[in-house]
Amino acid sequence: CSPYRPHSIMASRVRATGTNFILASLLATLSYLPFQLVAQFTLIICVLLFVVDPFPTSRLVSVAGVAVVLAITKARQHFLILEANEEELQQQQQQQSVNATHDDKSD
């Protein structure tokens, strides 16, 4: 057993913590940006990784990243459409309620 072994374990933990801190800071910053900007940034990173890195694993990660962004975008669009339809339905119900009240008062 080497006397330097505990030091190397601590050094690797410090590096891992530092890397995780940087990643956590980046993700926290991205959470304040608009969705389209973050999606475009992610797609650019995936394209760069796909083109620059020749390893098949990194290319699979790039394709998976694009697929995730596409799935999230479709889910967001679906949610926004549902939200708009719900608001439109509420406005129609309010308008019908106002019209019914107005008709009752005129009788």
pLDDT at 7 over 60: no
- E strands along 2-100, which residues? none
Distances (CA, A) of 3 to 16, 28, 82, 96: 22, 39, 63, 81
pLDDT at 102 over 80: no
pLDDT at 93 over 60: yes
Burial of 66-99, coded b for 16+ CB within 10 Å and e otherwise, reads: eeebeeeeeeeeeeeeeeeeeeeeeeeeeeeeee
What pTM did the predictor assign?
Answer: 0.53
**Average pLDDT over all residues of the chain:** 79
**In the prediction, which pLDDT does 38 show?**
84
pLDDT at 4 over 70: no
